[in-house]
Amino acid sequence: MAEGFDRRRFIKACAGIGAAGAAAAAGIGMLRPLTDMDVEIIPIDYPGIHVLRGSPAPYGLPLIPLEITGDGEMRGVPDAFEDQLQWYRYCGHERTPGAQPDWGDDDLLRYHVTAEQRAGLDSWYAPAIDEVIQWEDMPENTPEAIFRDYPGVGAPFRWRSEGQPPEETLTGILLRAPVDELEFTEGILPDREEELLEWMPEHPDDPDSRLMACLSICTHFCCVARFHEDRLAEQSGWGDKIFCTCHLSRYEPFLIDQYHRTIFRYPDEVPEETPEPQPA
């Protein structure tokens, strides 16, 4: 489970999801607020990293659109799509500051691991923890021997979370994806493919690679999934997947799918209706 996770908030969230499921089964409109939680359940659609069949996770990992700044820094774009920030509001992050439009800090990606993971960390990015990720940092493939034969490379980051406690931190995985490995499912329409590719900038030194990012908070039980990090993944035959060690959820790193799920919206987030002007 993620460091500093607010279990009470998550249990409340699970209760809400269960109530929403019961409401749907009973034919009750999903837009009706759950009065006992004082929140509204709303449906959303989002593109994400494909979750493999048989995984306990029900949904894919939401994409984070990227751009490379003039200084060569990796920046997540929070408004590339209408209501995009809603994609990241799950697992107790519904009211996380970084998932709100009025976040006041920068949108740069910074290398990130938990305090427990820092001890003895020997990954290629270890010397740069907390620093802003530069596109030139990313090697072509993972240097660690056990993952060297698998395509691509990844690095964990935090986004829109500077100065926030662990339970309010949005974490993700930055991927250098070989173009010949990148695919879209039938759920992504051709015109949407072109739009999504704009969110994955070409590696400036390598037209055969694209840089892409996703949230790393597992959609099963809110643990943090990783890529080319865990020996258990390789030992289990899933060394080429984004892998969550807690309950063995697996995601296909370079396959983009379309997902539909529900999120919570609190009463103070509902925009007030502007009264129509009255005739004089």
Q: Secondary structure of 147-204 in the HEC alphabet?
A: HCCCCCEEEEEEECCCCCCHHHCEEEEEEEEEHHHCEECCCCCHHHHHHHHHCCCEEC
Backbone angles phi and psi of 234, in degrees to 5: -65, -40
pLDDT of 192 above 60: yes
* Residue 36: alpha-carbon gap to chain centroid: 29
182 to 66, 103, 177, 197, 234: CA distances (angstroms): 16, 31, 7, 10, 21
Would you mind telling me the total number of residues written for the chain in this entry? 280
Confidence of residue 271 (pLDDT cuts 50, 70, 90): low
Residue 235 DSSP label: H
Confidence of residue 207 (pLDDT cuts 50, 70, 90): very high
Residue 206 near residue 140 (C-beta atoms within 8 A): yes
- pLDDT per position as a tens digit, 105-133: 899 999 999 888 887 788 999 999 999 99
State mean pLDDT over 170-180. 97
pTM of the prediction?
Answer: 0.84
State mean pLDDT over 92-105. 93
- pLDDT per position as a tens digit, 249-264: 999 999 999 999 999 8
State mean pLDDT over 202-231. 95
pLDDT of 173 above 80: yes
| Confidence at residue 86, expressed as pLDDT on a 0 to 100 scale | 96
- Quick check: helix, strand or coil at residue 215? strand
As a whole number of angstroms, the distance between CA 79 and CA 64 comes to: 10
With the C-alpha atoms ordered 258, 260, 265, 270, is the resulting torsion angle positive or negative?
Answer: positive
- Quick check: helix, strand or coil at residue 67? strand
The mean-pLDDT minimum among 50-64, 111-125, 176-190, 266-280 falls in: 266-280
| Confidence at residue 264, expressed as pLDDT on a 0 to 100 scale | 85
In 3D space, the residue among 234, 229, 221, 235 whose CA is nearest the CA of residue 113 turns out to be: 229
| Confidence at residue 114, expressed as pLDDT on a 0 to 100 scale | 86
What DSSP element (H or E) covers 19? helix 7-25
